[in-house]
Amino acid sequence: MFSIESMGSGGKERRLNELIKYLSQKPEYTLALVIFRKVFHFKEVENAGIKIYQLDKTAKSMASLKSFMKFGKICDDFKPDLIHSWGNLNSLLAIPAARFRGIPIVNNQITSIAKSKGGIEKLLFYKLPFAFSGIIVGNSKAGLASYSVQAAKARCIYNGFNLNRLKKLRLKEVVRKELGIATPLVVGMVASTVPAKDYQTFFDSAVEVLKTRDDVSFVAIGKGVKKKYASHIQQKNTSRILLFEAREQIENDMNVFDIGVLSSFYEGLPNVVLEMMALGKPVIASKVGGTAELIEDGKDGFLFTTSDKKKLVQLITLLLDNNTKRSDIGRCAKEKVQMKFDVNNMLSAYESVFREAIDRK
């Protein structure tokens, strides 16, 4: 039984979607999904024929313990052999039901590095669920280490990219026209405007590069980007720094990039970097969290210190000026994804963890 906030468009939702698709085709598995909000960005889950339960997330329901009791009733109805939780509150809610029914928990909360070292929130939403979880999965070694997860419980399962997503890409010319790109070269960043993302360094670097060249456009795509930053772009740069809100099938947009950038203050294992690498794009990313576990600096991408605008400008210029280097770095990036980060590697690793958790019972 899987438990997650919703099946929206995020990275962990995409991983769970792949897992449900895979397991639902195997007769030895019967699956259920517990969610707070019936949001389904990935339609495969709705069409997989699995049981879907909804919980109430209101403060009143939580304070009165109704959500905890309902989670227990769901367990009595479905009778899971294993609970796989994908969020802070989801993991906390699973504890009483799992404890009193002898159901093992695989905890998948860790998708980034720890941002605080203490306090009641960390105790309630991390230390307590960790204590009652049989196995704790993180998508980067850096993330697991930052939460000081016991080695006996810690398992690193890297995000997996489904290469089938690249089989029906739209024509680059069509996408470029749709985005209003008029230059031969494109540098792009895809991220929402959450605190982890350092868009300001990306835009500052774009302005510096555009001072000396007119053959490149900078494209930023993500939830809140246009609303938050449109007024920050000088009129003279509006045709070369293009802003877009979140778009579906983002791989089509990233495919027109010549260089991908991800400037972040902190990360787990960023899906967007993995996606751009799978498309054969050279990626320049800030060296935080698990990003260094994706990119080998100088071989299949480049890393720079957070907020180091000068270094980012240097690396962008280096790649813009050297077609061969762009191609070589991109090729190595794509090969790494195919070898190490293919979705089938991820799915097999989860199956192994599930078997281990049940055998420990």
- Cα 140 from Cα 294, distance rounded (Å): 9
Q: What is the number of structural domains in the chain? A: 2
Do 148 and 201 sit in the same domain of this protein? no
Token reading at 62: 């939580």
Please answer whether residues 156 and 213 qualify as being in contact, where contact means their C-beta atoms are separated by less than 8 angstroms. Answer: no
Tell whether 132 and 167 lie within a shared domain.
no
| In contact, 226 and 257? CB cutoff 8 Å | no
Count the Cβ atoms, other than its own, within 10 Å of residue 59.
7
Closest listed residue to residue 198, CA positions, set 320, 112, 308, 296: 308
Neighbours of 52 (CB within 10 A): 16
3 φψ region: left (φ > 0), alpha (ψ -120 to 50), beta (else):
beta
pLDDT for the residue numbered 57: 83
Please indicate, yes or no, whether residues 113 and 36 belong to a single structural domain of this protein: yes
Which residues, including other chains, have CB under 8 Å from residue 9's CB and lie 6 or more apart?
41, 246
The answer for residues whose C-beta is within 8 angstroms of residue 186's C-beta and 6 or more apart is: 176, 216, 217, 218, 219, 256, 257, 258, 259
Shared domain for 20 and 136, answered yes or no, is yes
Instruction: Report pLDDT for 122.
Output: 75
- 69 lies in the same domain as 133: yes
Residues 57, 108 within the same domain? yes
CA distance 264 to 215: 26
Say if CB 294 and CB 269 are below 8 A apart: yes
Q: What CATH number did the domain enclosing 110 receive?
A: 3.40.50.2000
- 123 and 185: one domain? no
Nearest to 78 by CA among 186, 1, 156: 1
Q: Supply 213's token pair.
A: 């060249």
pLDDT of residue 47: 79
Determine the pLDDT at residue 114: 86
Mark whether 64 and 122 lie in a shared domain: yes
pLDDT of residue 303: 98
The DSSP symbol for 240 reads T
- Alpha carbon distance 291, 143 (integer Å): 11
Give yes or no: residues 325 and 191 share one domain: yes
Per the structure, the complete domain to which residue 11 belongs is given by 2-160+343-360
Tell whether 94 and 107 lie within a shared domain.
yes
Pairing of strands 259-262, 185-190: parallel
- Same domain? For 11 and 143 the reply is yes
Other CB atoms within 10 Å distance of the CB of residue 123: 10
* Amino acid identity, position 318: L
pLDDT tens per residue across span 118-143: 677 777 888 999 999 999 999 999 99
pLDDT mean for each 10 residues of the chain (361 residues): 91 93 95 92 83 88 85 97 95 95 96 76 85 96 94 96 94 97 98 94 98 97 95 94 93 98 94 96 97 97 98 98 98 97 97 95 72
Whether 302 contacts 332, CB under 8 Å: no
pTM reported for the whole predicted model: 0.91
Q: Residue 315 is encoded by which pair of tokens?
A: 């690396």
pLDDT score of 59: 78
Task: Name which of 31, 43, 49, 51 is nearest 7 in CA terms.
Answer: 43
Task: Say yes or no: 241 and 355 in one domain.
Answer: no
